[in-house]
Amino acid sequence: MAREDNRRDRREREETPEFADRLVAINRVSKTVKGGKRFGFAALVVVGDQRGRVGFGKGKAKEVPEAIRKATEQAKRSLVRVPLRDGRTLHHDIEGRHGAGRVVMRTAPAGTGIIAGGPMRAVFEMLGVQDVVAKSLGSQNPYNMIRATLDGLKQEASPRMVAQRRGKKVADILKKPETEAPAEAAEA
């Protein structure tokens, strides 16, 4: 009886769309054989929960829907968690690299929106970022742009993570060093 309940729960979880997905690129590829050309399709998909998790996947198949399905499944398996400030922007400016692709991502004030092109915009929308300024430098290949963006996002660290790593309190991390120096000089 317990097994049936577990199966039912699992099916219900799979049916509820907790992830949003975005098709970034679809490419028709061909293989030349003795009788002519065989066509196939390659799909690039970005998946996210729009609350701080994002992943990408690529799929290849003879038909477009099958390629998209494979890419979506792979993307769901490769999700990464990214800490967001106030659930809307990055904590600090970051740079990501992959191959010849290089991207620069900057935190932005509320109301700025997503200022980013193509594949990077898809990553930010699926991640749930609302305010960011990003620039792609180097390769325009969508695969490399997404990999470079995710490389940068993996470097993102919240003040809580930094404090935990240093063994300090969050307040000590966020304290500005300029305010401490004049107070020490006044005491002396």
**Would you say 50 and 126 are in contact if contact means Cβ atoms under 8 Å apart?**
yes
In a domain, 25, yes or no: yes
In a domain, 175, yes or no: no
In a domain, 55, yes or no: yes
The values of phi and psi at residue 95, to 5°, are: -130, 135
- CATH number of the domain that 34 lies in? 3.30.230.10
Mean pLDDT of 25-36: 94
Mean pLDDT of 175-186: 62
Q: Quick one: tokens of 99?
A: 């191959």
In a domain, 174, yes or no: no
In a domain, 176, yes or no: no
Position 123 confidence tier, pLDDT thresholds 50, 70, 90: very high
In a domain, 184, yes or no: no
Q: What pLDDT is attached to residue 17?
A: 58
Q: For 40-62, what is each residue's pLDDT tens digit?
A: 999 999 999 998 999 999 999 99
What total of structural domains would you count in the chain? 1
Q: What pLDDT is attached to residue 16?
A: 45
Q: Which residues of 112-146 are buried (b: 16+ CB within 10 A; e: fewer)?
A: eebebeebbbbbbbbbbbbbbbbebeebebbbbbb
Q: For 68-113, what is each residue's pLDDT tens digit?
A: 999 999 999 999 999 999 888 999 999 999 999 999 999 999 999 9
Whole-angstrom CA distances from 83 to 89, 128, 152 are 9, 11, 12
- Residue 122, domain extent: 2-164
In a domain, 39, yes or no: yes
Q: Quick one: tokens of 8?
A: 């039912």
In a domain, 188, yes or no: no
pTM of the complete model? 0.81
